[in-house]
Amino acid sequence: MTDGALYRTKIHCYFLDQVIVTILFILKLRIINVVVLNQTRVIHPLPNEKNYHIFYQMLAGLSREERTRLNLEGFTLTNLRYLQNGDTRQDEQEDSARFQAWKACLGILGIPFLDVVRVLAAVLLLGNIQFVDSQNLEVDVSGESELNAVASLLGVPAAALFRGLTTRTHNARGGQLVKSVCDANMSNMTRDSLAKALYCRTVATIVRRANSLKRFFFLSLYVFS
Amino acid sequence: MAALNNAVRHATDGFIGILDMFGFEEPHLAQLEHLCINLCAETMQHFYNTHIFKSSVESCRDEGIICDTEVDYVDNVPCIDLISSLRTGLLSMLDTECSVRGNAESYVAKIKVQHRSSQRLEQPFDPRLFTIRHFAGRVEYDSTDFLDTNRDVVSDDLVSVFYKHTCNFGFATHLFGTELKALYSQESVPRGMSFRIAPTSHTDLLNGDEPVSTLTQDFHTRLDNLLRTLVHARPHFVRCIRSNSTENPGTYDRGTVVRQIRALQVLETVNLMASGFPHRMRFKQFTSRYRMLAPFRMLRRCEEKALDDCKLILDFAMEQPSELDSSVTLSWAPGKRHIFLSEGIRQHLENMRTNIRNRSAVLIQAAYRGWQLRRLGTIRRTRKDILLPSSNKHILVNPTIGLF
């Protein structure tokens, strides 16, 4: 593309809210997107607020077959814990259309849609895994099917995921490694940190890919708002 | 959009940046991220104040110009210092509290003591809550999760689950790529390490077993970088005002709008633009841009007489009727090194400049096309003269018309 093409191209400005700072640099023919996320919003949107829009769009836009494959059958805005406490109003048609547009974007970027959607589904289902303290000083999980679903989506054994969420290795004095079992509260917090990590790292991967393209590509970051 | 397209047309080097950021946030019980967002909003407001008001007033004063507009703007440096100053700011104190493995209550108690005389921090009654008076309103913060959010860590027990030996989903392994590489560089896994939840661009992930930086430190670094970029650029500001605070479409809440207009100092900006001298150019810069507005012969066009040329150009410009509304003042004042212009006269000069350039372009094209056609006409006439003698003697041939 020549310089001439640059200013004949329409520059679309999408308004991004709920992102702390987004700086978009148009460097001659390249756009470098820098995104800083509000991580807490993934796990705890405020009562009048929405979680990141992609989740709503995904739930509206996935086909029945896709939903089943992603273990999201039977889940809606009102029974997913990471979404239910926020604003649950939705224009399903609009969200579905936006989801298709986003899917097309991923195609242009060369990022496998199924991979991303698997991670996003895992994030949503993580919220429905609840750890509770059990009598023998260990933790029990309420929402075992969700735990299995998340593990399968993330390609890990369910037992390994359970251990990862509920045990902690400490570096005791003398260089000894000690493993301890977390209580329910700590395990739930670890679960939340996994959800945050999966989401923001996925966004970072997509942004990095967009920035590496030589073409004039304005990432529709709207979905990440 | 017009400013953007104009900038793109003339850009040869450098970049055009669009900064779209969330403005001020005042949720019911704000979290650490909201404190960061609001610090960002305060910082941008300060940048705006400095760029629009302060520099304008100061440069007028420096060059001996008397500006009759009283520019009264609110300086929000105290609030920015409260949050972000080194060592004693709220964020620094939070980092300290994290490093000593403290808790929310002791954090709030400490900031209460440190900032007891601050006008911006309202003394909390609840041991975990505190309120800050920002430029755009009062916000109550709940510090319960501040420390955990700031540390922003995930254990290696969890990260190790995504290693390729246990995970067959390549994308997920890739998400933790950097951390897994560091983790499996030694045999003993897991070993009590903590990694940042947010992917960092640091080459060093860890300082011993702890991550190199906290959430607020990263945020602060990014904010500083942003400011450094903005300071060297020519910013254009776009102010977005929301019509109501409940996200209802088609509803206009006067109170909400007025509050924002007051906080963003829109009225003060308009006053400054209307009658102050927000623009200044060096004499030489001015003459080279606007010299076409005055008759060529009258311009001196030398370094020492640059100010005279400026005055000449402006006199001619003032004689022309402006396309602007009659309420807009056209005023200017000469300083020591710069010529100071009101927004009105700058627009007037720009309009005249564009008109003259367009007229000149048309004139040049017309002259060239005329010349080209006349040249072609001459060739045609020459050929006709050769053919004519064999035709009827009575026909009068008029060579200039080129008929027959």
**Are residues B246 and A48, on separate chains, in Cβ contact within 8 Å?**
yes
> Chain B partners of A198 at a C-beta cutoff of 8 Å?
172, 175
The pTM of the full predicted model, rounded to 2 decimals, is: 0.76
| pLDDT score of A11 | 33
**Are residues B20 and A26, on separate chains, in Cβ contact within 8 Å?**
no
Nearest CA in chain B to A12: B1
Q: Does B16 touch chain A (CB under 8 A)?
A: yes
Q: The sheet that has B137-142: what strands, in order across it?
A: B121-122, B129-134, B137-142
Which of A33, A154, A178, A208 is the best residue to mutate to test the B interface, defined by the most B CB atoms within 10 Å of its own CB? A154
Convert the pLDDT of each residue in B349-358 to its tens digit. Answer: 999 999 999 9
Q: Does B2 touch chain A (CB under 8 A)?
A: no
| pLDDT score of B363 | 95
Number of other CB atoms surrounding residue B185 within 10 Å: 8
**Are residues B161 and A201, on separate chains, in Cβ contact within 8 Å?**
no
Mention every residue, 6+ apart, whose C-beta is less than 8 A from residue B363.
Answer: none
CA distance A124 to A150: 9
**Are residues B171 and A119, on separate chains, in Cβ contact within 8 Å?**
yes
Convert the pLDDT of each residue in A1-28 to its tens digit. Answer: 333 333 323 333 333 333 333 333 333 3
The whole-angstrom distance between A66's CA and the closest CA on chain B is: 18
Convert the pLDDT of each residue in B258-275 to its tens digit. Answer: 988 888 888 888 877 776
Q: Does B146 touch chain A (CB under 8 A)?
A: no
Which of B28, B33, B210 is the best residue to mutate to test the A interface, defined by the most A CB atoms within 10 Å of its own CB? B33
**Are residues B20 and A13, on separate chains, in Cβ contact within 8 Å?**
yes
With residue A30 as reference, give the H or E element that holds it. strand A30-37
CA distance B211 to B232: 32
DSSP A130: E
| pLDDT score of B402 | 39
| pLDDT score of A48 | 78
ipTM of the complex as predicted: 0.83
Provide mean pLDDT across the span B392-402: 46
**Are residues B15 and A25, on separate chains, in Cβ contact within 8 Å?**
yes
The whole-angstrom distance between A49's CA and the closest CA on chain B is: 9
Number of other CB atoms surrounding residue B292 within 10 Å: 14
Which of A32, A193, A196 is the best residue to mutate to test the B interface, defined by the most B CB atoms within 10 Å of its own CB? A193
**CA torsion, points A187, A191, A192, A198, in degrees to nearest 10?**
150
Convert the pLDDT of each residue in B289-315 to its tens digit. Answer: 998 888 888 777 777 788 888 888 888
The whole-angstrom distance between B172's CA and the closest CA on chain A is: 6
* Surface-to-core class of residue A55, CB atoms within 10 Å of its CB (0-12 exposed, 13-18 middle, 19+ buried): buried
**Are residues A194 and B191, on separate chains, in Cβ contact within 8 Å?**
no
Q: What's the full length of chain B, in residues?
A: 404
Q: What is the residue type of B397?
A: V
CA distance B264 to A222: 25
B203: pLDDT confidence band, cut at 50, 70 and 90? low
The whole-angstrom distance between B328's CA and the closest CA on chain A is: 31
CA distance B231 to B5: 21
Nearest-CB residue to A177 (from B154, B192, B246): B192
Convert the pLDDT of each residue in B335-376 to its tens digit. Answer: 888 888 888 889 899 999 999 999 999 999 999 999 999 988
**Partners of A34 in beta bridges:** A23
Cβ–Cβ pairs < 8 A, chains A and B? 161
φ/ψ of residue B79, rounded to 5: -70, -40
Q: What is the mean pLDDT of chain B?
A: 83
The whole-angstrom distance between A150's CA and the closest CA on chain B is: 12
DSSP-derived 3-state class of residue A21? strand
CB B84 within 8 A of CB B63: no
**Are residues B172 and A155, on separate chains, in Cβ contact within 8 Å?**
yes
CA distance A111 to A105: 9
Provide mean pLDDT across the span A98-112: 86
CA end-to-end distance (rounded Å), chain A: 30
Whether the per-residue pLDDT at B82 is higher than 90: the answer is yes
> Chain A partners of B156 at a C-beta cutoff of 8 Å?
169
Number of other CB atoms surrounding residue A72 within 10 Å: 21
| pLDDT score of B79 | 93
Which of B169, B186, B215, B239 is the best residue to mutate to test the A interface, defined by the most A CB atoms within 10 Å of its own CB? B169
Whether the per-residue pLDDT at B198 is higher than 50: the answer is yes
CA distance A33 to A26: 9
**Are residues A20 and B37, on separate chains, in Cβ contact within 8 Å?**
yes
Q: Does B20 touch chain A (CB under 8 A)?
A: yes
CA distance B276 to B344: 10
CA distance B140 to B129: 7
Q: Does B356 touch chain A (CB under 8 A)?
A: no
